[in-house]
Chains A and B, each alone.
Chain A
Amino acid sequence: MKTKEFKIKLSIGILIVCFLGVSLLFNEFKEEEPILPVQGQIGEPRADDVWMISRMVAAESRGEPFTGQVAVASVIVNRVRDPKFPGTVNGVIYQPWAFSPIMDGAFWSVAPTENHLKAARYALNGWDPSYGSTFFWNPATATSKWVWSRRIITRIGKHVFGI
């Protein structure tokens, strides 16, 4: 009888472990990564822009040279100034289906490095190694054939930049 009791206890134990395991799995999704300190007060609206652009840079230009990262950031800034695109940084970044890191959620899970933040700051201050581009794509992974109809401005690392 002792073994039977043991087995019941064991199965309850297994159940609890399973339950804990499953809930742990869910907690993992909810786990928040530390967010870099961002202060936004009147006159410092760019703090939010740096936060957003650095995330997009981190998600879109992994392994790219620093100039390429500034270029990706400046594409976002160039769009804001172009009447053909939304008029704010958040408008450009969150435009439905415009950027794949928003669609696959990488935008929220990346951890931007100092360089990504620096790239965002430089682009917002006017540095533009993309020379006015409003599109960039990676020829190896680009799914849309349409982008190739754009005028190519320059190439940096794995990315092609165009308008």
Chain B
Amino acid sequence: MRSKNIVIWLLIIFALGIGGALWFTQANKQAQASQNALEASYQNHFFNLIENTENLDVLLGKTLASNSERQDIITFVTVWSLAEAARTNLDSMPLDTASMMRSNQYFAQLGDFCYSLAQKLAGDQEISDKEWEKIRELHQENRTIHKELRALLGLVQEKQLRLGSLRNMNNEMTSESREMLDGFGKLDERLQNEVPTLTYDGPFSDHVVNRKPRGLTGGNINKKEAEEIALRFAEKINKSGGLTAKITGEADGRIPSYSVTLQSKDGVQPALVMGISKKGGHVVFMLDVKEPSRASKVSVKKARERAEKFMSELGLGTFIETGHIIEASEIFINYALVQDNIVIYPDMIQVVVSLDSGRVSAYDTKKFLLSHTRRNLPQPKLTEAEARERVNKNLQIEDIRLALIPLGNLEEELTYEVKGKIGEETYYVYINTETGLQEKILLIVETPQGSRSI
């Protein structure tokens, strides 16, 4: 009896052992397959990165040899899409963030710059000698990058380096993986030192990335004043009485600011957080930190009226609503400044009204502070009637008004904003008042939550 018992137990242990071993082998195989699939994906991106830089080299060379502006437009737009693809390849490899920031910027700017040249050509403008010189430099730079990447690929092809080994939890590294990481690091450093700043008409241009705020008027304020400004602002949204203000931090960004937290003494009222600019004491943003509720007790109409009243009491000028969107139980409303009956789109302010309490619960004026200034707007050369002639014949025009729109390069253009329909879809078309050229088209998507323009 005893021995039989032992046999049974041994059998059980044996079965469990076999099962465990089978499971382990299976799991191990699975883990290896996953790792290999990941490695394949990394290498796929590496090979694509090299192929893309190779094609970029060819295309940049062709623009230098070409004498057809029409073809140049196509080539420059292709450069833009290949440069963006190269950036995606680079970002999909397991490198150090530190050692790929400049390389990323290089590809982003190369594409963006060439796109701006394509736009120039499409707008019947000439590419300057200086800009051709930039293309020559970028062409040379691209060739060097390609050479360096090829050399690094040798580590994968000849020394069986796996890209997956470049990063690991315990920072253990073979000499090959060290070499690969250093290679990318050196490439990045060289770009940092050699490639000059690029100023052109695009959103990634250095002058756009490093823009200075235009609307920060006034002298510097101290902490005490910042607290007082915050308290006065709270009164505007009916949050007065029993509030205490405290500086909870400072920020040293594009708009140097104090962070002010407002707390009710009884602790019942939720706290507000505000950013107050050190220069001029402008409220940069305001946030109600209360957890949002799902309840909607206030109508959209009432909420918009509340926001309108709030905007008129700010004393920053006349504003017009340019759109709103409902998210959870809050309505986000966009306002643009109106000057001389012209909608100034760059000078935007956002207001949020809670559909639960009907109160203004958030406010953001960063865009306004960055761009606002008193502008000397030109008289439109084009008449309204002429602008109507310039839009697509299929567009059923519903409305037309003057609007100043921001371009990607911080410049602004006075346009006629033509609102119209093609079938069920609403479009905004912008016609330059100077040249009569179409500057931009926006599609308006109506959703139950509001409209979005894309």
Stretch of B99-107, B143-151, B296-304, B314-322 with 4 or more beta carbons under 8 angstroms from chain A: B99-107
A51 at the interface (CB under 8 A from B): no
Residues of B within 8 A of A43 (CB): 443, 445, 447, 452, 454
Q: Beyond the given A43-B443, A114-B292, please list 13 additional residue pairs across the A-B interface where CB-CB is below 8 A.
A: A4-B1, A7-B5, A43-B445, A67-B259, A82-B209, A86-B104, A95-B92, A97-B96, A97-B97, A98-B97, A127-B362, A151-B252, A163-B253
* Interface bits B265-296 vs A (CB < 8 Å: 1, else 0): 00000000101000000000101010110000
Residues 1 to 56 of chain A near chain B (Cβ within 8 Å): 4, 7-8, 11, 14-15, 18, 42-44
B165 at the interface (CB under 8 A from A): no
| Chain A proximity of B395: nearest CB distance (Å) | 19
Instruction: Report whether B12 and A14 are in contact in the complex, using a CB–CB cutoff of 8 Å.
Output: yes
* Interface bits B74-115 vs A (CB < 8 Å: 1, else 0): 000000000010011001111111100110110011001000
Please pick, from A83, A114, A125, A127, the residue contacting B109 in the complex, using a CB distance under 8 A: A83
Complex A-B: 12 CB contacts under 8 Å: A15-B15, A43-B445, A67-B289, A84-B102, A86-B104, A87-B108, A96-B94, A125-B332, A127-B364, A128-B285, A146-B96, A163-B253
| Chain A proximity of B326: nearest CB distance (Å) | 11
* Interface bits B1-45 vs A (CB < 8 Å: 1, else 0): 100110011001001100000000000000000000000001000
Please pick, from B16, B109, B367, B452, the residue contacting A18 in the complex, using a CB distance under 8 A: B16
Complex Cα–Cα for A153 and B91 (A): 25
B255 at the interface (CB under 8 A from A): yes
Known pairs A127-B285, A152-B252; A114 contacts B8 (CB<8 A): no
B327 at the interface (CB under 8 A from A): yes
Residues of B within 8 A of A42 (CB): 445, 454
| Chain A proximity of B1: nearest CB distance (Å) | 7
- Using a CB–CB cutoff of 8 Å, the interface residues on chain B facing chain A are 1, 4-5, 8-9, 12, 15-16, 42, 84, 87-88, 91-98, 101-102, 104-105, 108-109, 112, 167, 204, 209, 249-255, 257, 259, 273, 275, 285, 287, 289, 291-292, 327-328, 332, 350, 362, 364, 366-367, 443, 445, 447, 452, 454
Instruction: Report whether B88 and A86 are in contact in the complex, using a CB–CB cutoff of 8 Å.
Output: yes
A91 at the interface (CB under 8 A from B): yes
Instruction: Report whether B93 and A96 are in contact in the complex, using a CB–CB cutoff of 8 Å.
Output: yes
Shortest Cβ-Cβ A-B pairs, 6 listed: A43-B445, A131-B253, A83-B108, A154-B251, A84-B101, A66-B289
Residues of B within 8 A of A11 (CB): 8-9, 12
User: Which residue of chain B has the shortest Cβ distance to A12 in the bound complex?
Assistant: B12
Residues of B within 8 A of A151 (CB): 252
Instruction: Report whether A97 and B94 are in contact in the complex, using a CB–CB cutoff of 8 Å.
Output: yes
Complex Cα–Cα for A152 and B256 (A): 12
A85 at the interface (CB under 8 A from B): yes
| Chain B proximity of A162: nearest CB distance (Å) | 9
Complex Cα–Cα for A114 and B112 (A): 38
Instruction: Report whether A129 and B94 are in contact in the complex, using a CB–CB cutoff of 8 Å.
Output: no
Instruction: Report whether A131 and B105 are in contact in the complex, using a CB–CB cutoff of 8 Å.
Output: no
Known pairs A11-B12, A42-B445; A129 contacts B259 (CB<8 A): yes
Complex Cα–Cα for A130 and B251 (A): 8
| Chain A proximity of B183: nearest CB distance (Å) | 17
Please pick, from B88, B204, B209, B251, the residue contacting A131 in the complex, using a CB distance under 8 A: B251
A115 at the interface (CB under 8 A from B): yes
| Chain B proximity of A115: nearest CB distance (Å) | 5
A105 at the interface (CB under 8 A from B): no
Complex Cα–Cα for A156 and B12 (A): 58
Please pick, from A91, A96, A154, the residue contacting B259 in the complex, using a CB distance under 8 A: A154
Residues of A within 8 A of B16 (CB): 18
Residues of A within 8 A of B362 (CB): 122, 127
User: Which residue of chain A has the shortest Cβ distance to B348 in the bound complex?
Assistant: A126
Complex Cα–Cα for A133 and B9 (A): 63
Complex Cα–Cα for A83 and B101 (A): 8
Complex Cα–Cα for A156 and B209 (A): 24
Complex Cα–Cα for A85 and B254 (A): 19
Complex Cα–Cα for A43 and B323 (A): 14
User: Which residue of chain B has the shortest Cβ distance to A132 in the bound complex?
Assistant: B253
| Chain B proximity of A55: nearest CB distance (Å) | 17
Please pick, from B5, B12, B289, the residue contacting A65 in the complex, using a CB distance under 8 A: B289
Please pick, from A115, A125, A130, A153, the residue contacting B364 in the complex, using a CB distance under 8 A: A125
Residues of A within 8 A of B289 (CB): 65-67
* Interface bits A99-118 vs B (CB < 8 Å: 1, else 0): 00000000000000111011
A76 at the interface (CB under 8 A from B): no
A77 at the interface (CB under 8 A from B): no
User: Which residue of chain A has the shortest Cβ distance to B168 in the bound complex?
Assistant: A97
User: Which residue of chain A has the shortest Cβ distance to B167 in the bound complex?
Assistant: A97
Instruction: Report whether B252 and A83 are in contact in the complex, using a CB–CB cutoff of 8 Å.
Output: no
User: Which residue of chain A has the shortest Cβ distance to B257 in the bound complex?
Assistant: A131
Please pick, from B92, B101, B209, B254, the residue contacting A96 in the complex, using a CB distance under 8 A: B92
Please pick, from B4, B95, B252, B447, the residue contacting A153 in the complex, using a CB distance under 8 A: B252
Residues of A within 8 A of B287 (CB): 66-67, 70, 122, 127, 129
